């Protein structure tokens, strides 16, 4: 019985150790913050027509995409169709990491006392930065 308990303890220890080791190394790869990036939240009326069309075609599902013009990189993120009004997207951080641009976002649901309509909505956000060559990784 004692040998079995020791074996189980050893297996648990190895799993915890490996999980901690791999979890840290995967999470940390390239996501070290090198520099905060200035960005602008772009309203629909200020979007390039082609980008607006692409968003309208894809916004019903989870959306993560970039669109680049001569001068700007647009980063678009959406959470798909929500059951009611009152949802919004919060920008937690936009930064240059070791190997990419990271866009950290959160979906905010309606407040408890907020009056909502039972009409489905498709919240999305468009951020604009000076044109960059790095790939973009969305944290949603």
Encoded tokens for 14 = 């190895």
For 40-83, write each residue's pLDDT tens digit. Answer: 999 999 999 999 999 999 999 999 999 999 999 999 999 999 99
For 81-123, write each residue's pLDDT tens digit. Answer: 999 999 999 999 999 999 999 999 999 999 988 899 999 999 9
- By DSSP bridging, strand 72-79 and strand 136-139 are unpaired
Looking at per-residue confidence, does 30 or 68 come out higher? Answer: 68
Q: What is the DSSP string of 55-103?
A: HHHHTTSEEEEEEE-SSEEEEEEEE--BSSS--EEEEEEEEE-SSSEEE
Q: Can you say how many angstroms the Cα of residue 123 is from the centroid of all Cα atoms in its chain?
A: 13
Reply yes or no on whether the pLDDT at 19 is more than 80.
no
């Amino acid at each position: 019985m004692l040998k079995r308990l020791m074996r189980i303890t050893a297996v648990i220890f190895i799993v915890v150790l490996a999980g901690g080791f791999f979890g840290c190394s995967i999470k940390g790869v390239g996501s070290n913050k090198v520099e905060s990036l200035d960005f602008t939240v772009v309203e629909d009326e200020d979007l390039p027509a082609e980008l607006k069309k692409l968003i309208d075609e894809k916004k019903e599902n989870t959306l993560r995409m970039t669109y680049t013009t001569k001068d700007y990189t647009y980063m678009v993120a959406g959470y798909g169709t929500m059951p009611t009004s009152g949802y919004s997207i919060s920008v937690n951080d936009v930064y240059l990491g070791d190997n990419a641009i990271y866009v950290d976002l959160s979906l905010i649901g309606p407040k408890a006392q907020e009056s909502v309509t039972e009409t489905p909505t498709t919240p999305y956000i468009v951020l604009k930065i000076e044109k960059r060559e790095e790939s973009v990784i969305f944290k949603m």
